[in-house]
Amino acid sequence: MLRKADLRSTAVQKDWHLPAGSSSGSAHHMNTELFVLTYGALVAQLCKDLQNDEDINKELDNMGYNIGVRLIEDFLAHSDVRRCHSFYETVDVISKVAFKMYLGVVPNVICKDPAGDEYSLLLERNPLVNFLEDLPDNHSSLWYSNLLCGILRGALKMVNLATDVCFVQDRLKGDKETEIQIKFLRKLEGSKLMGHK
Amino acid sequence: TLPFPMADEVLFEFLHMEMITYVYKSLGQDDQSRNNLSKESYGTNTAARDENRVTLTLEHGKCISVLEGMGFRVGQGLIERYTKDTPSFKDDLDVMKFMCKDFWTHLFRKQIDNLRTNHQGTYVLQDNRFRLLTQISGGKQYLEEAPKFLAYTCGLMRGALSNLGVTCAVTAEISVIPACKFQVVIQRT
């Protein structure tokens, strides 16, 4: 699969302010255990309740969405990001600030589409699977971390961006990478929290 | 030492809420299903009405039980990581003090505010500002619903204690939101 060059090397380097109280490079100090283990218990419960992987993926996405529409307020309140002027900037903020802030990792951003509407986040390390070796048996189509897609979709909706967010690869499934695809669809009406120019 | 406050607390709080909503929905105990069942409870057929009311209560109990069960397994997992470098405990009181200080701090970045015991195996842990209740308003209508916000944490405690060699029952009650009390009754074999 041909990859576009990592845009970070050519685009303007932005210094997004990290929230006061967070130290760069201290990802390993983050206490995500409670969240990660709770998430694991939730996925296990979903596997018990729902037989179909499609249904589980959908449920995780919905739950993520409900979280995202509220998480965005917390994010905007605790980070120092200014208004983004392009979708690329938005994705850059997601990777460098949001992922860093909440999960302690910074995924790589690659551009999938020259028109600039489609990006991928590549997670070198996915904290959600820290204590997991394999997918649960008989759930080979499960996107284990699908909650993340819903969160992104919900959060972006609240800043007036309709997007399509989904996993396209997952190392847990045996793929080479763990890749989340974010596609910009359209701007939405209404001021909600923070408009885009 | 207190770990650095991090944004992932919020992530857990939101996940916790969604988990509760999901469990209730999956057991047909979400608001819409309950409203439908409630309406049938006010019919003229007494037997059917009573049965529906019992169903409502039992199903609510099932939800609590599912949440508590999830907490139990996670509590077992967490305590293993939290006690890697701790020496063994002298007695039950020692264990409970650990729960009140270290365990609670790991989970909620604060300690239990008050610990009481009858020295006969019952402990009451009071948190005056329980983090998982701070987002809920204190209106009367929520008090009835309140147990569902505590079930998972009760499970966390029961699971953690179980791995520390303490078999117990953990229940919780809310005095005034956001204050609540967890009661641990140690079972002697």
Using the beta-carbon criterion (under 8 Å), do A103 and B21 form an inter-chain contact? no
Q: Residues 6 or more apart from B92 whose CB is under 8 A from it?
A: B121, B166, B186
Q: Which of B66, B112, B119 is CA-nearest to residue B93?
A: B119
Residue B136 in any domain: the answer is yes
Q: What is the pLDDT of residues A30-60, one digit of tens each?
A: 578 999 999 999 999 999 999 899 999 999 9
Subunit contact B7:A42, Cβ cutoff 8 A? no
Alpha helices in A50-179 (DSSP H): 53-78, 87-93, 99-103, 147-158
Please report the ipTM that was assigned to this predicted complex: 0.86
Name the class of domain A24-187. Answer: alpha beta
Cα A110 from Cα A99, distance rounded (Å): 15
Low-confidence ranges of chain B (pLDDT < 70): 1-7, 29-34, 36-58, 138-142, 189
A101 chain-B contacts, CB cut-off 8 A: 7
Task: Give the residue on A whose Cα is nearest the Cα of B104.
Answer: A34
Nearest CA in chain B to A43: B19
Specify if B83 maps to a domain.
yes
Q: Residues A69-127: pLDDT tens digits?
A: 999 999 998 888 888 989 999 999 999 999 999 999 999 999 998 787 999 999 999 99
CATH code of the domain covering residue B126: 3.30.1380.20
Please name the member of A21, A41, A70 whose beta carbon is closest to the beta carbon of B74. A41
Q: For residue B3, is it within any domain?
A: no
**Beta carbons of B11 and A67 less than 8 Å apart:** yes
Please list the residues that pair with A120 across neighbouring strands. A110, A181
Q: Is the pLDDT assigned to residue A147 strictly greater than 80?
A: yes
Q: Min CA distance, B37 vs chain A (Å)? A: 22
Could you give the number of structural domains in chain B?
Answer: 1
Q: What is the pLDDT of residues B110-148, one digit of tens each?
A: 999 999 999 999 999 999 999 999 877 766 666 777 889
Q: Name beta bridge partners: B114.
A: B126
> Which structural domain, as residue segments, surrounds residue B112?
9-36+44-186
Domain parsing of chain A, residue ranges: 24-187
